[in-house]
Chain A
Amino acid sequence: KNEVEQSPQNLTAQEGEFITINCSYSVGISALHWLQQHPGGGIVSLFMLSSGKKKHGRLIATINIQEKHSSLHITASHPRDSAVYICAAKPNTGNQFYFGTGTSLTVIP
C-alpha cells in the first residue's frame, strides 16, 4: 500500500498541449512537494504547497486538502519539460516524506 499514488504513470504529449498530472494521498499532511527529475537523476523541487494554488511560469500546482488530492499542470508544453514528475507528501507526524512512483512525461516536438 502506497501512501501516495500518482497518475498517469507515463504520459506522452505533443508540444503545446496542456498537461495534468494527479497525486492522491491517504495520510494527513503538512505540505506537498512537486519534484522534477531529469535523466541522470537530479531532483529539483518545483513547488511546495500546503493549500490553494501556486504558479511559476508555465507550471501550476493545486492542492485540495479535504479531498487529499493535488494536481500539477503544465501549459504550452515543450520538449524540455520531458522528465519524471514526483509528488512527495510530508505527513503531519514524522520527519520523512512519502513519495509517489512518479509520472514519466515525454513531450514530442
Chain B
Amino acid sequence: DTGVSQDPRHKITKRGQNVTFRCDPISEHNRLYWYRQTLGQGPEFLTYFQNEAQLEKSRLLSDRFSAERPKGSFSTLEIQRTEQGDSAMYLCASSLAGQGAVGYTFGSGTRLTVV
C-alpha cells in the first residue's frame, strides 16, 4: 500500500461543467476526509466518512458538492456547475478510527482550475 492516492492530480474545467475526483485511502483505514485548500490558506474541512457513512459535512459543502464512499473504500467528490471560486486544491486524508491523529495520512491532492 503506497498511501492515499488521488486522481486526477490536475483538472482544468470550464465554468458550469461538472467534475469528479477520486480518493483511494490506505486500505485498512476506515475513516476518509475531504479538505479544500485555497491559495495561501491552510486546508479547510469539507466532509468525512466512517466506512460508507458520511458522518459530518461542513457548511462549506454547498448543494453543488456531493461526496460518496459507496463500499467503504474509495471515495468520490463531485462538484456540479463549477464556479471560478471552486478553484482550489482538494485534499483527501484517511485514518483508522480509535487511533486519533496517529497514522492520519494525506493524499497529494487534486488541483482544480475553473476557467
Contact = CB atoms under 8 A, between A and B. Distances in A.
Contacts, number: 67
A35 B43 CA distance: 11
Contacts of B44: 99
Interface residues of A, number: 25
Contacts of A42: 106-109
Contacts of A95: 31, 33, 48, 55-56
Given A95-B31, A95-B56, A96-B56, A45 B45 contact: no
B102 A35 contact: no
A21 interface: no
Given A95-B48, A97-B104, 11 more contacts: A32-B101, A41-B37, A44-B106, A50-B101, A95-B55, A95-B56, A96-B33, A96-B45, A101-B40, A101-B42, A102-B40
15 contacts: A31-B100, A32-B101, A40-B108, A41-B37, A41-B109, A41-B111, A42-B107, A44-B106, A50-B101, A86-B43, A90-B100, A94-B56, A99-B42, A99-B44, A101-B41
